[in-house]
Structure 1
Amino acid sequence: MRADRLISLVLLLRRRGRLTAATLARELEVSTRTVLRDIEALSAAGIPVYAERGRRGGFALLPGFQTDLTGLNHDEALALLVAGSGRGERVFGLGTALAAAMRKVVDALPETHRAAASDAAQRLLIDPETDLLSHRLLTDELPDATMIEVRRAVLTGRKLRIRYAASDQTPQWRTVDPIGLVTVRDRGYLLATRSGADRTYRLSRVLAAETLPEPAQRPDRVDLDRIWRERCAQFLSDGDQVTVLVRVNPARREDLVSTALAVRAEEPDADGRLRLEVTFQDARHAEWALWQLTTDAEALSPQWLRTSLHNRAAAIASFYGVSS
């Protein structure tokens, strides 16, 4: 256990630079006193870790320090192999690189662990391409050459020129400052700024891309999780979104939630159903989603949605009425 923690401590310092004892303790889930003892053990073993005093002080490795830390225990190797079975790499065009990395992971394992880890990984599956109802899950497709340019600009911090086909608009060239890449339910997004304004681009709508030599205007460090939450909140507050109060059969709750943009409130109803307040992209989206659930869901409000669903149902009933 301690050997794994010492390796993790060195990797943290290599990846993130100077860190305080409190930060290291939080990351490693140990006490500050344990971190200080680990630092002493590393120094005694010849690892060039040193302390910087002062308010902005902490522990760091000497610049340029390199070491080979390839040891993986069984669970760590299994985690990498299982993660590699997911489909996010397809969105970012990293499938070939991931396959090569997985081969290296397996090859680096001790002989006693190799067969066990490979067999265990075959028994765990993440995000198959179809669900139990044989619904095929669609993944955004982006030409490899285009994805390589987008990824290069993001990782090297260069400006990016993209030919983007926004919904219902003629494709146009735009120059952006890329911040990061996000994948959600196998849909990829480029987070960027354009002329200082926040922009989010669907990767499948990027028709062409070119990395420019100019450096991107962006902060050195980024919290993509926070930025994504903020942009999601902004998206929900803009545009033509509609909020609907729905009574739904609990067995169909996930079907409803999976089509909605957000769930704003939820509580049980008196008859055993659930009462949810959900947001849809627009009126057409709301009507389509509720229609799919037939009598397993009832839109309680707004009234225009109830009227629209009633009219559609009446037209279908009339069309299939008993012929004279």
Structure 2
Amino acid sequence: MRAGRLLSLLLLLQSRGRMTAQELADELEVSVRTVYRDVEALSAAGVPVYADRGPAGGYQLLDGYRTRLTGLTGAEAESLFFAGMPGPAAELGLGTVVAAAQLKVLAALPPELRSRAGRIRERFHLDAGGWFRQAEDMPFLAGIADAVWNPKRLRISYRRWGDEVVERTVGPLGLVLKAGLWYLVAESDGQPRTYRVARVEALQPTDEDFARPADFDLATFWADWSRKFEERMYPERVTVRVTALGLRTARVLLSLAASRALEDVEPRGEWTTVEIPTESLDHALVDLLRLGPEAEVVAPPELRERVKARLEATARLYRESDSS
């Protein structure tokens, strides 16, 4: 523990130059007295750290005492700090590890590259969470991440859609962060499956080693699974005539799947016939009514009749209101 703190103190002085004992204590979350003892320990070990007295004083290293990384270009040094997403890292229990790694990299960079990397942290912020969504409670995420990294089978209690809780013994293959939500990809019954981490209600690590298949590629699996998931979520197709304004509006107001289906469609005359994927006819009814007179349902006939009935009921409501 102390060895790690001494290294952090050394790297702080390398990356930031002169620092007061209080500044070091705040960074390391220790007392000023502990900083004094740690500085003495570094000096006794031959590290050329010295103190300047007075109000503007502090500790600093002898000029030239620095470990440098070699082979990093400016662009590479800058890109390192795009990888440090503090939110997801903290959720995985790696927040302090990421911070320490960045500190070590900063300490080893030459001054010019250190300045450029620092500007990345100041001017770019990565927020992986989705809009209008509270953070999910995931008490078992760190334990799952540990099993992914040190492959051990896990016993989980998992709440499926519909609130059915099932028991599974799985072999962890990887973790995926999608739109602020964590998913566990794991082998179960010989097949890779996907579990939303927030739905894991109990976790029991085992001592059983899990042999991760050598040919399994997490990114490839996730891309294929995501495409099939979207197809399952939007199994229905409706045919609609839209105006040019209706086409533009549909791309904004309808689902992402509908927007993708319409992105390459060009208006053809006054009306353009398009096919739109939807979760169900109930969803399509609500969505297409939002387009008003800029869209007309062609098929299926059931949806067309339901839209007509809803519009007639709305018109009747306004006529009765005006006459009263």
Scaled by the length of structure 1, what TM-score is found?
0.62
What is the CA deviation profile of residues 243-280 of structure 1, one whole-angstrom value per residue up to 9, with x for unaligned ones?
23454432551543526597498421314887654433
What is the CA deviation profile of residues 28-49 of structure 1, one whole-angstrom value per residue up to 9, with x for unaligned ones?
xxxxxxxxxxxxxxxxxxxxxx
Q: What is the match of residue 102 of structure 2? A: 102
How does 1:120-199 map onto structure 2 within 5 Å? 120-127=120-127, 136-138=131-133, 141-143=136-138, 145-199=139-193
Note the C-alpha offset of 1:106.
2.9
Q: Supply the AA of the counterpart residue of 1:179.
A: L
Structure 1 residue 115 and structure 2 residue 110: aligned? no
Change (3 A) 1:254 1:180: farther
Q: Are the equivalent residues in 2 in contact too, given 1:140–1:188 (CA < 8 A)? A: no
Q: What is the match of residue 81 of structure 1? A: 81
What is the CA deviation profile of residues 108-160 of structure 1, one whole-angstrom value per residue up to 9, with x for unaligned ones?
32222223322244223444768xxxxx35365243x4001111222222111
Q: Are the equivalent residues in 2 in contact too, given 1:153–1:159 (CA < 8 A)? A: yes
Question: 1-side partners of 2:308 and 2:87: how far apart?
Answer: 40
Larger mean Cα displacement after TM superposition, 109-118 or 161-170: 109-118
Question: 2-side partners of 1:75 and 1:208: how far apart?
Answer: 44
Q: Are the equivalent residues in 2 in contact too, given 1:91–1:142 (CA < 8 A)? A: no
SS of 1:190 mapped into structure 2: strand
Scaled by the length of structure 2, what TM-score is found?
0.62
Note the C-alpha offset of 1:179.
1.7
Structure 1 residue 279 and structure 2 residue 277: aligned? yes
Change (3 A) 1:141 1:291: farther
Larger mean Cα displacement after TM superposition, 89-98 or 219-228: 89-98
Q: Supply the AA of the counterpart residue of 2:114.
A: R
RMSD: 3.7
Question: 1-side partners of 2:165 and 2:185: how far apart?
Answer: 19
Q: Are the equivalent residues in 2 in contact too, given 1:139–1:187 (CA < 8 A)? A: no
Can you give the 5+ residue segments of structure 1 that lack an aligned partner in the other structure?
1-67, 131-135
Question: 2-side partners of 1:124 and 1:298: how far apart?
Answer: 44
What is the CA deviation profile of residues 148-181 of structure 1, one whole-angstrom value per residue up to 9, with x for unaligned ones?
1111222222111122111113323221222222
- Percent of matched pairs sharing the same residue: 31
Q: Are the equivalent residues in 2 in contact too, given 1:162–1:208 (CA < 8 A)? A: yes
Change (3 A) 1:119 1:173: same
Question: 1-side partners of 2:94 and 2:76: how far apart?
Answer: 21
Larger mean Cα displacement after TM superposition, 163-172 or 232-241: 232-241
Q: Are the equivalent residues in 2 in contact too, given 1:157–1:216 (CA < 8 A)? A: yes
Q: Are the equivalent residues in 1 in contact too, given 2:251–2:263 (CA < 8 A)? A: no
Change (3 A) 1:232 1:113: closer
Q: What is the match of residue 31 of structure 1? A: none
- Of structures 1 and 2, the larger Rg is shown by 2
How many pairs were matched up?
251
Can you give the 5+ residue segments of structure 2 that lack an aligned partner in the other structure?
1-67
